[in-house]
A and B are shown apart, each in its own frame.
Chain A
Amino acid sequence: MNIYILLKQVPGTSDVKMDEETGTMIRTDRRNVINPLDENALAEAIRLKRALSDVEVTAISMGPPHAQRALREAIALGADKAILLSHKGFGGSDTLATSKALAKALLTSVNGRLGKNDLILCGERATDGETGQVGPMVAAILDIPVITFVRKITLEDYLLTAERVVEEGLELIKTPLPALVTVIKDINQPEFPTLAGKLNAKSREIPIFSPDDLGISNNEVGLRGSPTRVVKIFKPKLSRDVIMHQQDSSGAAVDNLISFLEKRGAI
């Protein structure tokens, strides 16, 4: 069977600070990384590969050319293959246009068509866009079952059982393959790449595909293929008029807090 990982390269968020004046993010960490939940998805694919026989793991990403680095890292972490959809025609794609391109890549021969026993995994959401829409949208376009917010996967006789974390607990859902699963952090603890993996990744060529290669018209992807438009960006009023108190033995800080909360009707 094939397991496909839909992987996004995102800006590293470790060590981010906030600009107090403007309320914007200052990224001291300029590296781009694999979206953390996609790394969980990849680790899950590797786990399944070890447990089952004859599994090939392919990482697919859409992004700028430098997203090759994230894919190379995916190979270092154990993916067998990686492909990148990258072309200026893809630029400005919203979640629907992105999903169309990814779905097309899964359907066309660029990586061998999606088979009846295949599984697609991705993180529940990416840390930059935070929409969580691309996974389900890809499944809808491919017309295959999807299970979201998953913390445990069991595969038996090409039937997939998943534990889905919802607001009040856990749901258990079973579905045949092919299917798409979006995972949350609870599912596993990703391992670090091995030296051998890193060496293997270094020499690997990551094939790059354009809309033309996938047989997608320019009207389906990029800005033209995107039904949504950002019309305004503004800064929210972040800082509130904070009332500050220093704790001391008088107990005033806590007394004032309680009356403040009572006045606001908060407790």
Chain B
Amino acid sequence: MYKGVMVIGEQRGGKLHPVTYELLARGRVLADKLSEELSCVILGYGMEQFAEEIIQRGADIVYIVDNPTLKNFLPLLYTRVLTKLTQEVKPGIVLAAATTQGRTIMPLVAAKLDTGLTADCTELDIDLKDKSLLQTRPAIGGNVMATIKTPVSRPQMATVRPKSTKPLPVNKGKEGKVILKDYETNLFSTCEEFLGFIKDTTQDVNVQDADIVVSGGKGLKTRDGFCMIEDLASLINAAVGATRDAVDLGWIEYPHQIGLSGKTVSPKLYIAIGLSGSVQHLAGMQTSETIVAINKDKDAQIFKVADYGIVGDLFEIVPELIEKLKNKKEGKDSLQKRSEIYDKV
């Protein structure tokens, strides 16, 4: 019967993406509550090298399907392989990350398996009464939370919002099984063709992967004003975010847009500058761990979700913040240099 928790690991360009460790942390909690095993599936080419760390990060079993055709993500092909594997293993729960990959492959597999799927969960738990999965996600633009169950169909499937949990530390002593899965050649033939990947060079740090996001809105007034956001971001190694207004005004490209019609982020720190906090924008960032807001209007919505707010002219505050952070950084650097010199002496 359907048993165990399975997480779909994510690889991009032959490298295991850290979101896989977040899924393992989520899966471990659920598997322990059920006293069942946690497995992780990796589809790709040359991925066996990552099996050990996947076990050390929480998995009991690692399934690897290694084939040159799986090097890049092709939806139809990945669906066929994952559907086949899921039908063999019969896990009770299947989780993937709510990334562009996860949000594509999971509905495809769920429909093939004729089972339910909940998108972009921020909380997962087990209902101990019937051992079913409680899938909680923000609804209506994040203003309401909904808990969803899949009472009858199996597996119970959910995508999990990236950065909504922390990976487990590496446990060197943990043991697990690695199972290499092989299938007949015709399973790997597809009409889809991967023509190439072009890296977005305007994005040093991707907004959804970043630990810190600095976001700007209409309050920055001009493209030149928006440069301050980029300056502050690069100083603290943050990704740049923006409101819809800032994107529509052409100050920055759409991949940086945060909110209902853009991306959803939940970094450790979100700094909102010159943006009032429309419901649409809040929906994309309000689950951030710490939120700082800088705005001239003390009644702006953004302060309702902030942990720290400064009311005033951003054209004074942001340069001051940049200056002080720079001094701190330089101070640290020179201190470091001094201690290095002392070490040498």
Q: How distant is B312 from chain A, measured CB to nearest CB, in Å?
A: 3
**Is B243 among interface residues, defined by CB-CB distance under 8 A?**
no
Interface pair A25/B317, CB less than 8 Å apart: no
Interface pair B321/A257, CB less than 8 Å apart: yes
Q: How distant is A139 from chain B, measured CB to nearest CB, in Å?
A: 7
Interface pair B325/A258, CB less than 8 Å apart: yes
Chain A: number of interface residues, binned into ranges:
35 or more
**Is A188 among interface residues, defined by CB-CB distance under 8 A?**
no
**Is A51 among interface residues, defined by CB-CB distance under 8 A?**
no
Please report which residues of chain A, range 64-108, place their CB below 8 angstroms from some CB of chain B when the two chains form the complex: 94-96, 99
**Is A266 among interface residues, defined by CB-CB distance under 8 A?**
yes
Interface pair A230/B146, CB less than 8 Å apart: yes
Number of interface residues of B (CB under 8 A): 95
Q: Which of B104, B191, B261, B320 contacts A148 (CB 8 A)?
A: B104
**Given A131-B120, A257-B310, CB of A146 within 8 Å of CB of B76:** yes
The CA of A20 and the CA of B328, in the complex, are separated in Å by 38
**Is B308 among interface residues, defined by CB-CB distance under 8 A?**
yes
Query: Chain A contacts of B106 at CB under 8 A?
Result: 133
Q: How distant is B202 from chain A, measured CB to nearest CB, in Å?
A: 10
Query: Chain B contacts of A245 at CB under 8 A?
Result: 308-311
The CA of A14 and the CA of B308, in the complex, are separated in Å by 28
**Given A132-B103, A239-B305, A247-B313, CB of A233 within 8 Å of CB of B145:** yes
Q: Which one, B21-29, B42-50, B173-181, B193-201, is touching chain A?
A: B193-201
Please report which residues of chain A, range 247-264, place their CB below 8 angstroms from some CB of chain B when the two chains form the complex: 247-248, 251, 253-255, 257-258, 260-261, 264
Q: How distant is B345 from chain A, measured CB to nearest CB, in Å?
A: 30
Of chain A, the residue at the smallest CB distance from B83 is A140
Interface pair B147/A244, CB less than 8 Å apart: no
Interface pair B304/A239, CB less than 8 Å apart: yes
A-B complex: 10 closest residue pairs judged by Cβ atoms: A247-B312, A227-B116, A140-B111, A228-B116, A172-B195, A227-B153, A131-B119, A136-B107, A232-B147, A133-B107
B residues apposed to A, CB below 8 Å:
12, 72-76, 79, 99-101, 103-104, 106-112, 114-120, 134, 138-153, 191-200, 203, 206, 208-209, 212, 236, 254-255, 260-262, 268-269, 278-280, 282, 286, 289-292, 298, 301, 303-313, 316-317, 320-321, 324-325, 328
